[in-house]
Chain A
Amino acid sequence: MGHAYTPGLRVAPETVVRRERRLPLKGDVCVARGAEVGPGTVVARCELPGNVQTVNLAAKLGVDPAAVGSTLLKPVGAAIARDEPIAEAKAMFGLVKNRVASPADGTLESVSSVTGQLLVRERPIPVEVNAYVQGHVAEVLPGEGAVVESRAALVQGIFGVGGETHGTLAIATSGPGETLGPSHLKPEHRGAVLVGGDHVSHATVLKARELGVRALVVGGFDDRDLRELLGRDLGVAITGQEDLGLTLVLTEGFGRIGMAARTWELLCAHAGRVASVSGATQIRAGVLRPEILVPLQAHAGAHASEAEGGTLEVGSFVRVIRQPWFGRIGRVVELPAELSALDTEARVRVLVVAFADDGTQATVPRANVERLAG
C-alpha cells in the first residue's frame, strides 16, 4: 500500500456549512426558518428533568419498608423545599419523633414499599442551545432545534479540547513557526479566538484563560501539558465536553510543529472577524474534527473546499509526520518503485525528500509523510 496517509482535514477559504443545533430533550424552538442568527442567538430551549436523589426512609425512620408510605408528610407529586420535613415516624414507644428533611428543592417523585426508598426529583434545569455560528436558519427541527447554515471560511484542526465558543479572531505571533508565549498575550485578547504559531505551553494556556481568551488555535501542544490541563491522561480521543474555561485547537499535532502555511494565511486573512470554534474531536471513526469557522459577509465567489492530500509525485510538497524527521517540510525528489529496507529491517515503499530549510535529503517511508498544498 504505497498511499500516503492524509487525515483529510479541510482548509476552505469559502464553503457552506450546516450545523444541527438540537436540544437534549423536546422543548421550544425560538427561531423561524430563514431567520438571521448570531453565534449567541438562542435557537431552542427546554427544561431537563432535575436530578433524582434517594432517601432511605425506612432506615432513617426505623420503620418497615411497607410502612414508609404512611410516614410521608406530603403526598407524592407535591413540591418540597430543601430541609423541609417530608416524613415523620414515632420511635421508642412513641416517646421520640424521627423526622426526615428533604435533601433538595423539588418534588416528591415516588416511594417504594419494597425498598423503603423515597425519590426526590430536583427542580428542572433550564437548557438553551445557541446558534453557534452566524448565519441563517435553514431548517427548523420541530420541538428539537434548528439547522443553521452559514457561508464561511473553514479550518479543521487535527485535535481539540473544550466546547463551542466564539470571539474575535486575533493573531498573536508574528508567524506560523513562532511559539505562543505569555508575552504575546495582551489585555485586548479578552474574549478573542487567539491564533498562535507552532506551540503553546500549559502555563501560557492557563494565563490565556485567566485573561479571558475564549479559544487558542496553535500548531502543536505537548501531551504532558494536555494531561495537566485535563487532569487525566486522555485515552480515547472523544473530546468536546470538557469544561476548561477555554477551547484549544491543534491544527497539526503534538509537540512543536509549525502551523501549515495555508491554514495560517487563511486565519490571518480573517483577523478581526468573529470566529466560531469547537474543540470537539472524535478520532476513531474520523467523524468529528475541531473547527474554526469564520462567517463571510458577502458571497465572494464559489471556492471548492480543499483538503490536504492527493497523489504523491516528484515535486510534491510534503511534511514528515514521524520520527526521526517529524514536522520537517520539503519536496519529493525521488519515488523509488522498489521496496527499501529501513533501519528496522522492514521493507517498505519509500521516497526521498529534500528539506526546505537546509536542502538536505532523507529517505522516508511513504506512509510517514502527508502532502501539503503548495
Chain B
Amino acid sequence: MIPPESIRSILATDCGSTTTKAILIERGPEGYRLVTRGEAPTTVEAPFEDVTRGVLNAVREVEELRGRKLLEGDSILTPQRGDDGVDLYLSTSSAGGGLQMMVSGLVLQMTGESAQRAALGAGAIVMDVIALNDGRRAHEKIRRLRQLRPDMILLSGGTDGGDVKRVTEMAEIIAAADPRARLGAGYELPVIYAGNRDAAPMVQACLGARTALSVVPNLRPSLEREHLKPARDAIHELFMEHVMAHAPGYKKLMTWSPVPIMPTPGAVGLIIEKVAKRDRLAVVGVDIGGATTDVFSVFRVPESTEPDATVFNRTVSANLGMSYSVSNVMAEAGIANILRWVPFAVDEVELRNRIKNKMIRPTTIPQTLEDLVIEQAICREALRLSFEQHKTLAVGLKGKQTVRDISDVLDQTGSGATLVDLVDLGLLVGSGGVLSHAPRRAQAMLMMIDAFVPEGVTELAVDSIFMTPQLGVLSTVHEAAATEVFERDCLVLLGPCVAPIGNAKRGSPCVTVEWAPASGAASRHTVAFGQLLRVPTPEGGTGRLTATPERSFDLGAGKGKPVTRTVRAGVVGLVIDARGRRPFALPDEPAARIARLREWNRALELYPREV
C-alpha cells in the first residue's frame, strides 16, 4: 500500500443491503475533499450474486460524473497513473442484510438474552432467539433454523458447572436442522459455542463434524455475571473468515483493497467513537437504513474515577428500517404512534397498504408532500424504538465484564440503561437516506429531536450524503484524510437544541436564551412552554449560549439554574424546544394535536406549504 502521506486519491464504497455507494476523495490545495459520489443497486442476491458488479456500476457512475478513468476492465485501477485510477480503494459492507445470526440459550430471559446482547453488540442482526422455554416444539425450532438460513449461530446455555444435558439437547436440535448458510452454498455454517464449559465436549461431538464450530468461554459463567467479549470476538473473526469470504463476489472484492472489508456498522462506530474522543463529548449516532437501524453511543462511565473514561455501545435494531422493515415499524410502534406525527387526517386502510407496498417495493420514494410527511412520521417511530432498544440492550463493547446483581438478573431488560444520559449528550448525529436526503435539513433536525427527545443543550448534525461508513474504514489507514473529509464534506451541523426538562401550563414562561455569536449581534429569546422556536444563526462559526430556565425547569444544572455553553452554529440554526420533557407529550385530542404540529412545522419552516 502507498504510504498515507503520498496518497492523492481515494475511492471508497459501501455495499448496503439495497444500494452500493461510491465516493471519490482527492487531495487538492485545501487538503482532502470529497469530489463526487455515485451509486448503483447492490448485486449480492440472485440473479447476479456478485457484489463486485454493483461496485463497478457505482464506480462507473463516479467515473462519468468526474470525467476520470477509474476502472481498468473489470477492476479498479490502482495506484493512480497521471489522472487515471486512484491510490487507495477500500470498502465496507452490509449487503445481503448484514450479518444475520440466530442465537440460542437455555432460558429465553437468561442465557438467551445474554447471547442476544453478545450478537447485537458485535453488529449482527438477531433473526431469532431459540431457547428451551420459547414455547416451540423441537421440530418447530428445527424448521425455523432451516427456514431462516442464518449466517452464523451462537449457542449458549447453562452456567459453568450447571446443566449439561439440556445444553446438549440444544446442540442436537441444531445438528438435526443441519442448517445451510445463507450466502454461497457449500461451506460449513459457523457455530460459536459459548455455554457451560462442562458441556463443550458433548457439543463438540454433536456439531464438530458438521459445522465450523468454535468453542469460546461461557458468556454467562454464572447467573450474576455476563462475559460477552470472547463470543463477540469470535463473531467478528468468523464474519471475516467465513461469511464474507463466501458471500458472492467478496473474494474478488477483497483482492481489490489492501484494507480488510469492514462491516458497515463497525465502520460507522469507529467514526462516532473518534469524534467523541476528540471533542470530549457524549455522542449518539444513528444510521437508519432500509432493513436495520444502528444506534451508537459514547457516554461517560458514571461511576468511574477517571474523568475521561467512556463506554462505547452499539446496537442493531434488526427489524426497524424504512423499506424492508417499514412494516415492522408499524407493527412495533402501532399505527396510532405513527399517526400522532401526521398533521392531517389519514385513512388507516390506505396508510396500512402504503406501508406494506413500501415493504414489498422498497426503493420507491415519496412524490407528494403528504407522502413525505408520513414517511418522516414513520422515521420518527423507527428512531424512537431503536433508541429504546439501545437503552435497554446496550452493553460495553470494550471487553468490560458486566457484573449484575441478582435483581438485574431477574430484570434483564433494565440492564445498560443507566449509561444513556440525555442531559450529558453533547452531539447527536443522524445518517441514512431518510435523514441525509431530507429535502430540508430542518426536517432531519426535528425528526431527530422528536425521536431522541434530547434534554439540556445538544448539538445536532447529519451525514450529508451518507458516507460515514467509508470514512470509518478510511480512518483505519489514513486518519487525517478521514477527519478532513468528515469535517468539511460529511458532517453537516444542523445547530444546537435547547430543551428544558419539566412541564407547565401552555403559554407560561419556560426558558430565556441569550445567544452571542462569535461574529454578529447578540440576541435574547424568551420562550413560553409549548413553543418551538428557531433562531437563524450564521453558518460556520461558534457562539456563546446562556440558557436560563424558569424555576420549575432544569437544563442539567438544576431547576432554575442557567447553563452556558460554547456551541457550533448550524444550517438550521438554534432551536429552542420548550415543548416539555419527562414526559414530552402530544395532545390526545386530534384537532389540538394537528394544530400544535402545524404550529411547530411553521416555526421551523419545515415544509414548503402547510400540510
Interface check B592, CB cutoff 8 A: no
Does B364 contact A345, Cβ atoms closer than 8 Å? no
Complex-state Cα separation, A183 to B325, whole angstroms = 37
Does B367 contact A321, Cβ atoms closer than 8 Å? no
B319: A residues at CB distance < 8 A: 235-236
Complex-state Cα separation, A285 to B247, whole angstroms = 13
| Residues 35 to 69 of chain B near chain A (Cβ within 8 Å) | 39-41, 45-47, 61
Complex-state Cα separation, A100 to B149, whole angstroms = 42
Does B360 contact A253, Cβ atoms closer than 8 Å? yes
Does A285 contact B45, Cβ atoms closer than 8 Å? yes
Does A342 contact B367, Cβ atoms closer than 8 Å? yes
Interface check B429, CB cutoff 8 A: no
| CB of A291 to closest CB in B, whole Å | 15
- Of the four ranges (under 10, 10 to 19, 20 to 34, 35 or more), the interface on chain B belongs to 35 or more
Interface check A244, CB cutoff 8 A: no
Complex-state Cα separation, A25 to B146, whole angstroms = 11
Interface check A17, CB cutoff 8 A: no
Interface check A286, CB cutoff 8 A: yes
Whether A24 touches B324, Cβ cut-off 8 Å, given contacts A1-B39, A344-B439, is: no
Does A48 contact B366, Cβ atoms closer than 8 Å? no
Interface check A222, CB cutoff 8 A: yes
Interface check B330, CB cutoff 8 A: yes
| CB of B109 to closest CB in A, whole Å | 17
A279-301 toward B: CB 8 Å interface, digit per residue (1/0)?
A: 00001111100000000000000
Does A25 contact B139, Cβ atoms closer than 8 Å? yes
19 A-B residue pairs with Cβ-Cβ distance under 8 Å, sorted by A, are A1-B19, A5-B362, A24-B139, A24-B143, A224-B352, A233-B327, A234-B327, A236-B319, A237-B359, A253-B357, A254-B353, A254-B354, A283-B360, A284-B324, A286-B45, A322-B367, A344-B367, A344-B371, A345-B440
Stretch in A85-93, A186-194, A363-371 with 4+ CB within 8 Å of B: A363-371
| CB of A216 to closest CB in B, whole Å | 17
A127: B residues at CB distance < 8 A: 139
Interface check B177, CB cutoff 8 A: yes
A24: B residues at CB distance < 8 A: 139, 142-143, 146, 176-177
| CB of A164 to closest CB in B, whole Å | 13
Q: Identify the closest chain B residue to A288 (Cβ).
A: B147
Given contacts A323-B371, A343-B369, 6 further A-B contacts (CB under 8 A): A1-B40, A5-B362, A322-B357, A344-B367, A346-B439, A367-B364
Does B325 contact A326, Cβ atoms closer than 8 Å? no
Give chain A's interface residues, CB within 8 Å of chain B.
1, 3, 5, 7-8, 22, 24-26, 48-49, 51, 110, 114, 125, 127, 158-159, 222-224, 226-227, 232-238, 240-241, 253-255, 283-287, 321-324, 326, 342-346, 348, 364-365, 367-368, 370
Complex-state Cα separation, A3 to B40, whole angstroms = 8
Does B367 contact A255, Cβ atoms closer than 8 Å? no
Complex-state Cα separation, A49 to B137, whole angstroms = 9
Complex-state Cα separation, A240 to B362, whole angstroms = 21
| Residues 357 to 388 of chain B near chain A (Cβ within 8 Å) | 357-369, 371-372
Complex-state Cα separation, A77 to B165, whole angstroms = 15
B352: A residues at CB distance < 8 A: 222-224, 227, 254
Does B45 contact A283, Cβ atoms closer than 8 Å? no
Interface SS majority for chain A: loop
Complex-state Cα separation, A284 to B356, whole angstroms = 13
Q: Identify the closest chain A residue to B328 (Cβ).
A: A235
Does A51 contact B137, Cβ atoms closer than 8 Å? yes
B361: A residues at CB distance < 8 A: 5, 7, 253, 321-322, 370
Does B367 contact A324, Cβ atoms closer than 8 Å? yes
B367: A residues at CB distance < 8 A: 322-324, 342-344, 364-365, 368
Complex-state Cα separation, A326 to B365, whole angstroms = 12
| CB of B160 to closest CB in A, whole Å | 14
B156-174 toward A: CB 8 Å interface, digit per residue (1/0)?
A: 0000000101000000000
Complex-state Cα separation, A224 to B348, whole angstroms = 8
| CB of A138 to closest CB in B, whole Å | 17
Does A287 contact B45, Cβ atoms closer than 8 Å? yes
Complex-state Cα separation, A364 to B142, whole angstroms = 46
Interface check B349, CB cutoff 8 A: yes
B331: A residues at CB distance < 8 A: 232-235
Does B437 contact A25, Cβ atoms closer than 8 Å? no
Complex-state Cα separation, A114 to B146, whole angstroms = 34
Complex-state Cα separation, A240 to B331, whole angstroms = 19
Interface check B332, CB cutoff 8 A: yes
Complex-state Cα separation, A158 to B362, whole angstroms = 12
Does A284 contact B47, Cβ atoms closer than 8 Å? no
Complex-state Cα separation, A25 to B176, whole angstroms = 6
Q: Which of B330, B357, B372 contacts A254 (CB 8 A)?
A: B357
| CB of B170 to closest CB in A, whole Å | 12
Does A322 contact B139, Cβ atoms closer than 8 Å? no
Complex-state Cα separation, A286 to B165, whole angstroms = 38
Whether A49 touches B147, Cβ cut-off 8 Å, given contacts A1-B39, A7-B361, A24-B177, is: no
* B148, B439, B440, B608 — most chain A CB neighbours (10 Å): B439
Does A344 contact B369, Cβ atoms closer than 8 Å? yes
Interface check B473, CB cutoff 8 A: no
Interface check B543, CB cutoff 8 A: no
Does A236 contact B366, Cβ atoms closer than 8 Å? no
Complex-state Cα separation, A26 to B142, whole angstroms = 12
Complex-state Cα separation, A324 to B137, whole angstroms = 46
Q: Identify the closest chain B residue to A115 (Cβ).
A: B163
B328: A residues at CB distance < 8 A: 235-236
* B41, B146, B176 — most chain A CB neighbours (10 Å): B176
| CB of B58 to closest CB in A, whole Å | 9
Complex-state Cα separation, A182 to B131, whole angstroms = 44
Does A222 contact B353, Cβ atoms closer than 8 Å? yes
Q: Which of A49, A159, A365 contacts B360 (CB 8 A)?
A: A159
A25: B residues at CB distance < 8 A: 139, 142, 176
Q: Identify the closest chain B residue to A255 (Cβ).
A: B353
Does B142 contact A348, Cβ atoms closer than 8 Å? no
Interface check B534, CB cutoff 8 A: no
Does A223 contact B355, Cβ atoms closer than 8 Å? yes
Complex-state Cα separation, A30 to B574, whole angstroms = 73
Complex-state Cα separation, A248 to B439, whole angstroms = 39
Q: Which of B45, B61, B330, B372 contacts A233 (CB 8 A)?
A: B330
Complex-state Cα separation, A236 to B372, whole angstroms = 23
Does A346 contact B365, Cβ atoms closer than 8 Å? yes
Interface check B182, CB cutoff 8 A: yes
* A227, A240, A284 — most chain B CB neighbours (10 Å): A284
Q: Which of A7, A284, A321 contacts B97 (CB 8 A)?
A: A284
Interface check B138, CB cutoff 8 A: yes
Does A8 contact B357, Cβ atoms closer than 8 Å? no
Complex-state Cα separation, A5 to B365, whole angstroms = 11
| Residues 318 to 342 of chain B near chain A (Cβ within 8 Å) | 319, 324-325, 327-328, 330-332
Interface check B454, CB cutoff 8 A: no
Complex-state Cα separation, A321 to B360, whole angstroms = 10
A287: B residues at CB distance < 8 A: 45-46, 149, 182
Complex-state Cα separation, A3 to B39, whole angstroms = 11
Whether A238 touches B366, Cβ cut-off 8 Å, given contacts A1-B41, A254-B356, A283-B359, is: no
* B97, B328, B363, B372 — most chain A CB neighbours (10 Å): B363
Complex-state Cα separation, A24 to B177, whole angstroms = 6
Does B364 contact A235, Cβ atoms closer than 8 Å? no
Q: Which of A114, A238, A241, A321 contacts B357 (CB 8 A)?
A: A321
| CB of B418 to closest CB in A, whole Å | 29
Interface check B447, CB cutoff 8 A: no
| CB of B262 to closest CB in A, whole Å | 21
Does A3 contact B327, Cβ atoms closer than 8 Å? no
Interface check B115, CB cutoff 8 A: no
Whether A3 touches B357, Cβ cut-off 8 Å, given contacts A236-B325, A285-B182, A367-B364, is: no
Does B366 contact A7, Cβ atoms closer than 8 Å? no
